[in-house]
Amino acid sequence: MKKRGNRRTLVGTVVSDKMDKTVVVRVERLVQHPVYKKYVRRHNRFMAHDESNSCSVGDRVQIVEHRPLSKRKRWKVQATLARATRV
């Protein structure tokens, strides 16, 4: 089996699971402000493929770069790191 190139992996939180086989993952990062040197929280939302529909809102997941699956979907859920707590 031929090894693929280095694929980026990110860790984020599922914020939407309303679509079929797709979840929206919010990935947060800290960046330093160029003038004030204070750390500011930035976030991006990625649409990721979830083949088994196993993820739910609040889950902590790891996503990996993937070939384009639709217009906005270029990531795939690799693993569920932590389940959301239910009340």
The CATH number of the domain holding residue 45 is 2.40.50.140
In which domain, by residue range, is 33 found? 9-82
**What is this structure's pTM?**
0.88
- Give domain status of residue 3, yes or no: no
Instruction: Give the Cα-Cα-Cα angle 22, 24, 29 (nearest 5 degrees).
Output: 145
- Give domain status of residue 4, yes or no: no
- Give domain status of residue 87, yes or no: no
Q: Are strands 9-16 and 39-49 parallel, antiparallel or unpaired?
A: unpaired
Rounded distance, CA 17 to CA 57, Å?
A: 6
pLDDT in tens, 55-70: 999 999 999 999 999 9
Residue-level pLDDT at 3: 77
Coil/strand/helix, residue 82: strand
- Give domain status of residue 31, yes or no: yes
Give the total number of structural domains in the chain. 1
